[in-house]
């Protein structure tokens, strides 16, 4: 059942032992295992949520470079079927393009209020996440599991999800998007930490931060 384990690794969950005790991994059993794990991964990610965020229709800005184009198109259609309004900011073909252009476009849409949440995609997700985070009002999270997507919302109030089309299959990407949209920010102790991510006026120090403590100690 190596295929089942591989799928679980994509989801960030452990496969229940009873699913892999089959002695013969037939195609039907592999398919059944995948269906079981897919539901288990998503359900496990949703179990601990005390509230939901964007289960109601929302406007989602989505952008990708050529490497993420096919996944963008598939996710776009899936989100539209769920009732979300889609702001497709490109690219619109598989021709080679520069990923920062589309990450910046999605970031601008989210920050300006044209979109409630953003999704950016490139080959690994690394480039678009770096580019999106150049906007100081964006908290883009590169996620490769539903746990990462859930925690990005609960703890970091991430407003843009970055995905790697070469690292996630469609089901894994869809699971991340679903959890990212459905999870609310927890607030509380995380508010203090998020405040330290916000831009401050030039010359304004953070009195509670470690650098200021070192300055007071003369280090």
**Choosing from 11, 122, 143, 176, which is the catalytic residue?**
122
Q: What is the pLDDT of residues 87-123, one digit of tens each?
A: 999 999 999 999 999 999 999 999 999 999 999 999 9
Residue 30 and residue 63 in one domain: no
Residue 161 and residue 118 in one domain: yes
C-alpha distance from residue 57 to each of 67, 81, 180 (Å): 28, 10, 14
122 catalytic, yes or no? yes
Q: How far is CA 176 from the centre of its chain?
A: 6
- Secondary structure of 77-90 as H, E, C letters: HHHHHCCCEEEECC
Q: Which residues contact 116 (CB under 8 A, 6 or more apart)?
A: 54, 58, 59, 60, 110
Query: How many distinct structural domains can be found in the chain?
Result: 2
Residue 39 and residue 136 in one domain: no
Q: Which pLDDT belongs to residue 219? A: 44
- Taking the CA of residue 142 as centre, how many other CA atoms within 13 Å lie in the half-sphere pointing to its CB? 17
Q: What is the extent of the structural domain holding 87?
A: 59-192
CB atoms within 10 A of CB 186: 17
Q: Which residues contact 92 (CB under 8 A, 6 or more apart)?
A: 69
Q: Which residues contact 133 (CB under 8 A, 6 or more apart)?
A: 139, 140
Q: What is the pLDDT of residues 153-196, one digit of tens each?
A: 999 999 999 999 999 999 999 999 999 999 999 999 999 999 99
Query: How many whole angstroms separate alpha carbon 121 and alpha carbon 99?
Result: 8
Residue 129 and residue 180 in one domain: yes
Select the more confidently predicted residue: 84 or 16: 84
């Amino acid at each position: 059942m190596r295929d089942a384990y591989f799928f679980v690794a994509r989801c960030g969950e452990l496969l229940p032992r009873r699913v892999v005790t089959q002695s013969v991994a037939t195609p039907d059993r592999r398919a059944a295992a995948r269906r079981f794990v897919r539901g288990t991964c998503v359900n496990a990610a949703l179990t601990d949520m005390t509230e939901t965020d964007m289960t109601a229709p929302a406007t989602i800005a989505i952008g990708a470079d050529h490497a993420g184009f096919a996944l963008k198109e598939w996710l776009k259609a899936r989100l539209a079927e769920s009732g979300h309004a889609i702001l497709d900011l490109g690219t619109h073909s598989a021709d080679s393009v520069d990923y920062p252009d589309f990450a910046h476009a999605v970031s601008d849409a989210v920050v300006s209020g044209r979109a409630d949440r953003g999704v950016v995609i490139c080959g690994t997700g690394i480039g678009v996440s770096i580019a999106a985070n150049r906007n100081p009002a964006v908290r883009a999270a590169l996620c490769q599991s539903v746990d990462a997507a859930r925690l990005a919302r609960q703890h970091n109030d991430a407003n843009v999800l970055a995905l790697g089309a070469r690292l996630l299959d469609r089901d894994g990407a869809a699971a991340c998007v679903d959890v990212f949209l459905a999870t609310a920010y927890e607030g509380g102790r995380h508010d203090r930490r998020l405040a330290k991510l916000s831009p401050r006026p030039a010359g304004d120090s953070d009195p509670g931060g470690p650098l200021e403590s070192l300055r007071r100690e003369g280090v």
